[in-house]
Chains A and B, each alone.
Chain A
């Protein structure tokens, strides 16, 4: 078994720490178990079970740190790994950015573990895939998909008395369905902590409807269009944005959050007033750990309120240098939405394009956060509040900063992957060329 309880983990960490002679010492223990199944061409392709556990130790003398790890947990092995990290620390160059470890803290208990998900086995995975294949075959489509479940734990303890433990479960599923002629493609994906929320049959039906609906796409001219981004497409753009909410990059002058002379855009109205972004480990749909690897508490954090950037993350070093409190980086992001459904957004659109998802997004210019990428698996033309016909995929060149300035309306937010985001209606979204890809 690679999953330990908090008592079992604490005992091993305490033992390891008892061997330490360093000025400061931190030990962490990680374990994971899980499996996956992959299918394509309407049949299973590869599948597997994986299990591993390891202990990592960091010893520090002054500002010199050495690290070592091991996957044996008897007393002799633990002592050996402690000694090795201490030897390495003595040989290491001093790190001027070393910050003394965090002291003891009480962390709230997370809601990340689900016992039903932890019990998933190869039969359950195969049955979930069977249901998905049934839908694809009935719709005369070819399915390729992936289902993976993981149970993991992480515990840390340090010489200043800090201890933290978290156990987590996760299941993710995605499926692509394509018609036999290769002229239509649909996709759906999602992740859950609780496997009982995963319905591979219902999800595959959505992908199947997209595949059949996207066949026979017409080419329309690239240019600026009003778009309705489904939550999956919107989250693709947002994940590139939130990585930039970091104080150091901004203050060093090399991020879209930078201004001249070391100033930043913190506190500025960077987006439309409808934009509110935060993270919250206690969101029941998107739970997260209540502490991070540095031993800092992870709490509800507001990043953008009414379009104004409210916070930038500070590493422990950068916070100490700047005389502020450290703030863990934006992890699992939640963007608030409205009450409108996706259908409502379509109905309110005179002329526009519905985007299911984006693909191969890469940064073109870090200064403006200009991104490029393509639409994929279902792009549709809207006129007078109705989906008129499928259209060929586009390449876009657009910045999420410009995009979130051009928000016309937001729908009801929902989880997609590791984000909760609403469908968005955006004006003047820039498509620069056509793609023949289906």
Chain B
């Protein structure tokens, strides 16, 4: 489930954010917590010392609305005592406070152990000793002067205003998670994780009718440094208009978007009915996220999310049968926590498990889920798949989605050739409205740009388009997937799950994909 933008943390000076915290100090603080937890009766403990830096730059038209640097620093201690989980977090890291928090975590575990049906069972995990990992960035976005970043956003806004926009908003979100994990199993893991998301919305109002239209950026949030914002010809795909792979030309996209808003104002309403959909990765990533990523989360399947995000139609019996047809034979989904440039890539998850990749849907069949240490035994797995994450030192870590991506087609195919075979279809770009039920059967998505396809040719833009489908029917209607040259990753920067709700960032890769005979509704209304 996706949420609006949260602003968590305290403001700090920029220069302060560039000074990392000494690993020796973190190890000493972690050992205090681990020893205190053990002395109070914990049979397992892990501690996360987190320093989470965010920088948000927001602009509208010709002015900077907000520049915010925030830091959140503190410690979360998780324990098992009497077979039950307990957790406590603090932001004043004195020795006394740490020992008290460890004791509180153990006390909570003991109190709650009366409400257990079976003790927590952790998959074996060896300690890695002192290790580290860093997102492979070329330019630390936090080190780029604020002036350079605001100038980029304002130049992008200027292009929109010159193109006749009434309003334009642009923003840049930067995240740096400096995470230190230690456990009673002997791991001391220091990680430096970077993500960023440039985005915009351009708005035009038709003075005659008072109607307005918008077009959002077709960028992706990425696990990259500032290099993502430095355009590179090799990372561009020329098609109906230019789209972007691992580099983004924000100015060019804004110029295109501003022109396209005019076309949106003139677009004709869609006629409801069945269409062949050709879906660009800028739209399909979100459909993958909602209809493949979430239902294969094992905690949902088991009922741990029943009270909030929901459960899943991909029940264990379907996996056990080894023949549940999730999609057509060309549909292959891989989970991957190591993919370069992706949002969920880390070296180790938040319970100290080294990250890897594995198949979830193979040749259309459900073959696996996403697990963490206390779930692995349910699937008979010898180890966790490394999907544990907490959005802050103050949050309890739990199962979160790895990058889940659709493998590209093996035969050479590009979108232009794919469209030639479509008699009555719609070519969809960009994320827009999205909604799916709590077991992930029925969904409805709309896009930023929906082009009509008639007799193999692209026509004008359509408005009020939304596609509604059942997940299994939709993926079984998947009839063609473009090859790896068209493969791109999209992502969700603020995916929400859990109680209290936590966000996480996750990517989904795919190439342009065709679906036969999908139900399209017209969402136009008069008030």
Q: In the complex the two chains form, is B91's CB within 8 Å of A40's CB? A: no
B307 close to A40 (CB less than 8 A): yes
Option from B304, B307, B444, B446 in Cβ contact (under 8 Å) with A174: B307
Task: Judge if B239 is at the interface, Cβ distance under 8 Å.
Answer: no
A87 to B11, CA, bound (A): 14
CB contact list, A386-424 vs B, under 8 A: 393, 395, 397, 399, 401-402
A35, A47, A259, A435: which has the most chain B beta carbons within 10 Å?
A47
Please tell me if A44 contacts chain B, counting CB pairs below 8 Å.
Answer: yes
**With a CB–CB cut-off of 8 A, which chain B residues contact A51?**
89-91
Docked CA distance A246–B306 (Å): 35
- With A56-B10, A436-B470 already in contact, the answer to whether A43 and B307 are too (CB < 8 A) is no
| Residue-wise interface mask of A (326-370) relative to B, using a CB-CB cutoff of 8 A (1 in contact, 0 not) | 000000000000000000000000000000000111111101111
- A120 within 8 A of partner (CB): no
> In whole Å, how far is B245's beta carbon from the nearest beta carbon of chain A?
28
Chain B proximity of A78: nearest CB distance (Å): 14
Complex contact A437–B439 (CB within 8 A): yes
Please tell me which stretch of B133-141, B206-214, B342-350 contacts chain A, meaning at least 4 of its Cβ atoms lie within 8 angstroms of it.
B206-214
Shortest Cβ distance from residue A61 to the other chain B in the assembled complex, whole angstroms: 16
Cβ–Cβ < 8 Å partners of A395 in chain B: 435, 437, 442, 444, 468
Given A41-B304, A122-B107, A252-B167, A360-B10 contact (CB < 8 Å): no
- Name the CB-closest residue of B to A434: B442
B458 at the interface (CB under 8 A from A): no
Bound complex: CA of A111 vs CA of B194, how far in Å?
Answer: 43
Question: With the chains together, A92 CA to B74 CA distance in Å?
Answer: 28
Measured in the bound complex, the distance between the Cα atoms of B433 and A48 in whole Å is 35
Q: Which residues of A have CB within 8 Å of B398? A: 46
Are B439 and A436 interface neighbours, CB within 8 A?
yes
Per-residue A-contact encoding for B456-492, CB less than 8 Å = 1, 0 else: 0000000010101010000000000000000000000
Nearest chain B CB to A89 CB, angstrom units: 11
Count residues of A near B (Cβ-Cβ below 8 Å): 89
Instruction: For A436, give its contact among B211, B313, B396, B433 (CB under 8 Å).
Output: B313
Interface of A is mostly: strand
The answer to the question of A229 belonging to the interface, with a C-beta cut-off of 8 Å to chain B, is no
Q: How far is the CB of B436 from chain A (nearest CB, A)?
A: 6
Question: A2-53: which residues lie under 8 A (CB-CB) from chain B?
Answer: 35-53
User: Which of B303, B434, B524 lies in contact with A142, CB distance below 8 A?
Assistant: B303
Partner of A374, one of B116, B442, B519, B521: B442
B299 to chain A, nearest CB (A): 8
Distance, CA A255 to CA B459, complexed state (A): 30
Give every chain A residue within 8 A of B205 (Cβ-Cβ): 253-254
In the complex, whether A260 has a CB less than 8 A from a CB of chain B is yes
In the complex, the answer to whether B307 meets A176 with C-beta atoms within 8 Å is yes
Contact of A372 with B85 in the complex, beta carbons under 8 Å = no
Judge whether A67 is part of the interface by a CB distance below 8 angstroms.
Answer: yes
| Complex contacts, B305 vs chain A, CB 8 Å | 40, 144
Given A95-B64, A126-B115, decide whether A433 and B89 contact each other with a Cβ distance below 8 A: no
What are the interface flags for A108-139 relative to B under an 8 Å C-beta threshold, 1 for contact and 0 otherwise?
A: 00000000000000110010011001000000
6 A-B interface contacts by CB (under 8 A): A87-B13, A97-B63, A252-B166, A362-B434, A393-B437, A436-B441
Other than A46-B398, A260-B209, give 6 A-B pairs with Cβ distance below 8 A.
Answer: A37-B112, A44-B115, A95-B64, A126-B111, A145-B307, A362-B434
A residues lining the B interface (CB < 8 Å): 35-54, 56, 67-71, 84, 87-88, 91-93, 95-97, 122-123, 126, 129-130, 133, 142, 144-146, 148, 174-176, 178, 182, 185, 187, 252-254, 256, 258-261, 359-365, 367-370, 372-374, 376, 393, 395, 397, 399, 401-402, 432-438
